[in-house]
Chains A and B, each alone.
Chain A
Amino acid sequence: MAGARVIPLHDPERDAARRARHVEVVPEPEQQQSPAADWERRLADLLSFARRRIAGDYEVDEFGFDRDLTENVLMPPLKPLYEKWFRVETIGMSNVPAAGGALIVANHSGTLPLDALMTSYGIASEHPAQRHMRMLGADLVFRTPVLGALARKSGQTLACNPDAERLLSSGELVGVWPEGFKGIGKPFKDRYKLQRFGRGGFVAAALKTGTPIIPCSIVGAEEIYPMIGDIKALARLFGFPYFPVTPFFPLLGPLGAIPLPSKWYIEFGEPIRTDVFGDGAADDPMLVFNLTDQVRETIQQTLYRLLTQRRNVFLG
């Protein structure tokens, strides 16, 4: 029996990991015995979270990402919106790598950036590695009090090449919405028509760091606030890029801020490799333009395909 090996029936580390992942699916026998244990554990978690916050005992990365706060406070309220309201279905989650830098490029729509929130919640909850997507936002976001601080704490940073490259080269999953305000604030009649993709800065960042680009197509977000008008004067007054008029806003006031419950699909496409072009590829404008077009075309075609498969805006 020289080759015999001891195979442990219970690998404590793996068991713990499995337990953590399937809390609801495989309830522990002791939990069945005492249903009180569950709320007690939750209370203990809550208290320990409160203690950490009071003592300032948590880590923040150089971009200001506060994982503790994001996972315990900012993410949970998105769950009902994601699961019950929009009933988001993700397709091709396996195209999102479990480790290492990658750039997710998606279409932007919906007047308010709920598509960004849903995509990041989807990856954090459904991806096996539960990765946090670090999004690149407009400087308007970071200039705004409260919102800017929240955006930084939830892992977002300013859309600029140094930040994008720093995140990608440190192995983070980065999300970018290159249409920007042109995409999110477009009128309802232009729905699912991709706008110009900026200047291709995101492609240059991916090329420089040799990280793959993952095209991401989001269907459903266009219908949450159908924008039928734009009051330019009010937008200028408040310093917004647009002031939306939807069938219910500002007519119904705050009630109009409730998004319509459209059915969503988020599809992650095949990664486009950027490490095959060699050094200095980021300085080749033609290559950058071509890649930008390729990403844009891929997303547009996927959008059309998803739209033809969709029978009803609200039922999917």
Chain B
Amino acid sequence: MTPKVVLVTGVSRFLGGHLAARFAANPDVERVLGVDTEPPPRDLLRRMGRAEFVRADIRNPLISKVIATANVDTVVHASVTANPAGPTGRTAMKEMNVIGTMQLLAACQKSPKVRKLVVKSTSAVYGSSSRDPAVFTEDMSPKDLPSSGYAKDAVEVEGYVRGFGRRRPDVNVTTLRFTNFIGPRIDTVLTRYFALPVVPTVLGYDARVQLLHSEDALAVLERATLHDLPGVFNVGGDGVLLLSQAIRRAGRLNLPVPSAAVPTVGGFFRSARLVDFSPDQMRFLNWGRVVDTTLLKEDFGFTPRWTTQQAFDDYVSGRGLKPLIDPETVAAAERGILDAAARFR
């Protein structure tokens, strides 16, 4: 069933905005509503074409009126985010994530027209610890429930979504647990992290990182909206990069920081407005996280076009990250040494 009227939350951010643009370009979709607290950047707004922007706060019951009057039949909740807007943004982010979701779900429950709900969740709900299995499947629950930050928000959001699904069994609910996004255009904590000239890591740990290209993320969200595919799905690219390996592929230098000094260094990067890592993301840098995507491929019917490694390389070349050690220099040095060895013989 192709949706008639789609409401997308979080359109002033990359995923929500580009998703609204994709629906606007789809002639089968009659009307596209984009909701956010602040207007999208100008280039994103231009892309969104005929999509209508509604400046509304989903924490406000007003959203209920929007859904009812516009006869919205499909809601894409893409505004749950891990990226705080500023140094003081964490409390606001939590409110936006959790209270916003509650309000939005309450509004959806009220409106009999709503037929479908797509929620952008995160694989952070599995937590990250040394006692976890190497690969998470959808039916696993975290050993240590995330106690703070984005991961906890996401766990709570998913809880409310499950509750909504019980109360409105007629609505198709798709929950997508995304791994970290990467790509030349998207801006996340991780893309800023890898762009640092010297990348701090935790001494003695090397996380396994699974990434998803932002274009694949858009395609998955689009597919979930245009088709009826209820359920919970892990979404991530194939393959794994080690954190140290990713840093080398980006041509950065790795700066291992002893665990005891990690909060101090993290605080420095936060106050310098470089990267804002929350404690649960710090844990992610220790152990990493890999999810199983069999359900995504077989039941959901989507295979990501980029593997983790390809997506990361696309990010590196797309951002024009200049490696500190030029691979040409390395190759030249290798040739030089071999030539010298040949002469020595």
Interface positions of A (Cβ within 8 A of B)? 34, 36, 40, 43-44, 47-48, 50-51, 53-64, 66, 139, 142-143, 145-146, 148-149, 152-153, 157-158, 160, 162-163, 166
Contact = CB atoms under 8 A, between A and B. Distances in A.
Interface string B201-235: 01111101010000000000000000000000000
Interface in B154-184: none
A51 B325 contact: no
A54 B204 contact: no
Interface of B: 130-135, 137, 140, 202-206, 208, 210, 239-242, 244-249, 259, 288, 290, 325, 327, 330-331, 334, 337-338, 341-342, 345
A43 B208 contact: no
A149 B134 contact: no
B179 to A, nearest CB: 12
Contacts of B245: 56, 58, 60
Contact of A60 (B140, B240, B337): B240
Contacts, number: 100
Contact of A64 (B208, B338, B345): B208
B140 A40 contact: no
B337 A63 contact: no
Q: Is the interface of B mostly helix, strand, loop or mixed?
A: mixed
B133 A149 contact: no
A162 B139 CA distance: 11
Nearest to B140: A162
A40 B345 contact: yes
A179 B241 CA distance: 33
Given A40-B341, A47-B337, A55 B134 contact: no
Contact of B134 (A44, A56, A59, A163): A163
* A-B interface, 4 closest residue pairs, ranked by CB to CB distance from nearest: A145-B204, A56-B248, A56-B249, A162-B133
A55 B330 CA distance: 9
A56 B247 contact: yes
Nearest to A140: B130
A62 B135 contact: yes
B135 A162 contact: yes
B77 to A, nearest CB: 29
B334 A47 contact: yes
B134 A43 contact: no
Given A43-B338, A64-B206, 19 more contacts: A40-B341, A43-B337, A55-B249, A57-B249, A60-B239, A60-B242, A62-B135, A64-B208, A64-B240, A64-B242, A64-B288, A139-B131, A145-B204, A145-B205, A146-B204, A152-B208, A162-B135, A163-B133, A166-B134
A143 B132 CA distance: 11
B135 A149 contact: no
Given A56-B246, A56-B247, A64-B240, A34 B345 contact: yes
A53 B204 contact: no
B240 A51 contact: no
B109 to A, nearest CB: 35
Contacts of A149: 204-206
A145 B203 contact: yes
B284 to A, nearest CB: 14
B334 A48 contact: yes
B338 A162 contact: no
Nearest to A58: B245
A142 B338 contact: no
A144 to B, nearest CB: 8
Contacts of B131: 139, 142-143, 158
Nearest to A39: B341
B332 to A, nearest CB: 11
B133 A51 contact: no
Given A60-B245, A152-B206, A158 B133 contact: yes
A158 B248 CA distance: 27
Given A51-B330, A55-B330, A56-B248, A62 B338 contact: no
A63 B208 CA distance: 8
Nearest to B244: A56
A51 B247 CA distance: 15
A153 B134 CA distance: 12
A149 B249 CA distance: 19
B340 to A, nearest CB: 10
Nearest to B131: A139
8 contacts: A40-B338, A51-B330, A62-B208, A64-B242, A66-B242, A146-B204, A148-B204, A157-B134
Contacts of A43: 337-338, 341
A64 B244 CA distance: 12
A148 B205 CA distance: 7
Contacts of B246: 56
Contacts of B325: 54
Contacts of A51: 330-331, 334
B321 to A, nearest CB: 13
B282 to A, nearest CB: 14
B133 A55 contact: no
Contacts of A60: 208, 239-242, 245
Most buried by A among B133, B134, B202, B240: B134
Contacts of B334: 47-48, 50-51
Given A162-B135, A162-B140, A148 B130 contact: yes
A54 to B, nearest CB: 6
A163 B131 CA distance: 11
Contact of B135 (A44, A55, A59, A166): A166
Contacts of B242: 60, 64, 66, 153
Contacts of B327: 54-55
A142 B132 CA distance: 10
